């Protein structure tokens, strides 16, 4: 087994990608590169690429593909050079996938196939109390009184991102954008799809797959 292991994880918003990524990183001793976090850090630190990206973000525009690609590839060739990692949130488009493929030899692409109805239920169930930031979930952590904060009794609100129409739009964008990327990695024989509705059900299958390629921490 090679010492350097590189994988990427794909999953819709609300698919449990963040949770499963944490478990993979922990169990297989990988560095975690989350594209969104890297972009925000560069903007905050006012790096040359961060300053360029902030011009788009401040106008509410998407950061161009080429700029995100440059940012990720720069990070992979410096901080992550000769490191084993899990890449999350990139690539999102075919040009990004092609650019990554030219520079990096990936061992695996993990696709989390969670039904859209399950994702809708997960995200729509999130409510919060604006005054304190306390969060609730109608299915997993409901308030004592429906629609009311447990402490103050004040009404709960739903974030714009969690409203049904927003969730549907985000899922449609994800589906249209990511389907070609999934097919790209399928064509490279790197894609493995893991279906399920709960992260705790999906992860043992992911673990078993990865353990055949890279020795888990508890076996090292």
| Calpha distance 11→202 (Å, rounded) | 12
Q: Is 89 annotated as a binding residue?
A: yes
Q: Is 92 annotated as a binding residue?
A: yes
Q: Is 125 annotated as a binding residue?
A: no
| Calpha distance 130→155 (Å, rounded) | 9
Helix (H) or strand (E) run with residue 133 in it: none
Q: Is 19 annotated as a binding residue?
A: yes
Q: Is 47 annotated as a binding residue?
A: no
Instruction: Tell me how far CA of residue 186 lies from CA of 6, 168, 170, in angstroms.
Output: 16, 26, 23
Q: Is 84 annotated as a binding residue?
A: no
Q: Is 40 annotated as a binding residue?
A: yes
Q: Which one is catalytic: 170, 186, 205, 215?
A: 170
Q: Which one is catalytic: 6, 122, 126, 214?
A: 126
**What angle is formed at CA 86 by the lines to CA 84 and CA 88, rounded to 5 degrees?**
155
Report whether the peptide linkage leading into residue 17 is cis, meaning its omega lies within 30 degrees of zero: no
Q: Is 11 annotated as a binding residue?
A: no
Q: Is 135 annotated as a binding residue?
A: no
Which of 89, 92, 85 lies closest to 7, judged by CA? 85
Q: Which one is catalytic: 6, 92, 122, 214?
A: 92
Q: Which one is catalytic: 6, 17, 122, 214?
A: 17
Q: Is 142 annotated as a binding residue?
A: no
Residue listed under structure tokens 């794909």: 10
Active-site residue flag, 122: no
Looking at residue 64, what DSSP letter applies? P
Active-site residue flag, 159: yes
Contacts of 84 (CB under 8 A, 6+ apart): 3, 4, 5, 6, 28, 29, 30, 31, 214
Q: Which one is catalytic: 26, 31, 159, 163?
A: 159
Q: Is 164 annotated as a binding residue?
A: no
Q: Is 69 annotated as a binding residue?
A: no
Number of neighbouring beta carbons within 10 Å of residue 140: 9
Active-site residue flag, 214: no
Q: Is 15 annotated as a binding residue?
A: yes
| Calpha distance 178→173 (Å, rounded) | 8
Active-site residue flag, 126: yes
* Binding site residue list for GTP: 14-19, 126, 199
Catalytic positions are 17, 92, 126, 159, 170
* Binding site residue list: 14-19, 40, 61-63, 89-92, 96, 126, 159, 170, 199
* Binding site residue list for AMP: 40, 61-63, 89-92, 96, 159, 170
């Amino acid at each position: 087994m090679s010492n350097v292991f590189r994988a990427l994880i794909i999953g819709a918003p609300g698919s449990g990608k963040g949770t499963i990524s944490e478990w993979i990183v922990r169990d297989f001793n990988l560095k975690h590169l989350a594209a969104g976090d890297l972009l925000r850090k560069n903007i905050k630190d006012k790096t040359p690429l961060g300053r360029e990206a902030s011009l788009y973000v401040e106008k509410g525009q998407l950061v161009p593909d080429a700029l995100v690609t440059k940012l990720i590839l720069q990070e992979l060739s410096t901080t992550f050079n000769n490191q084993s990692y899990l890449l999350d949130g990139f690539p999102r488009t075919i040009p990004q996938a092609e650019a990554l493929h030219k520079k990096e030899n990936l061992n695996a692409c993990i696709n989390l196939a969670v039904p859209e109805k399950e994702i809708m239920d997960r995200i729509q169930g999130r409510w919060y109390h604006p005054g304190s930031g306390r969060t609730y979930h109608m299915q997993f952590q409901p308030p004592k009184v429906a629609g009311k904060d447990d402490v103050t009794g004040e009404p709960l609100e739903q974030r714009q991102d969690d409203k049904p129409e927003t969730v549907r739009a985000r899922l449609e964008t994800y589906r249209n954008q990511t389907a070609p990327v999934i097919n790209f990695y399928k064509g490279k024989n790197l894609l493995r799809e893991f279906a399920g509705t709960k992260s705790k059900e999906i992860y043992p299958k992911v673990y078993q797959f990865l353990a055949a390629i890279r020795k888990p921490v508890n076996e090292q």
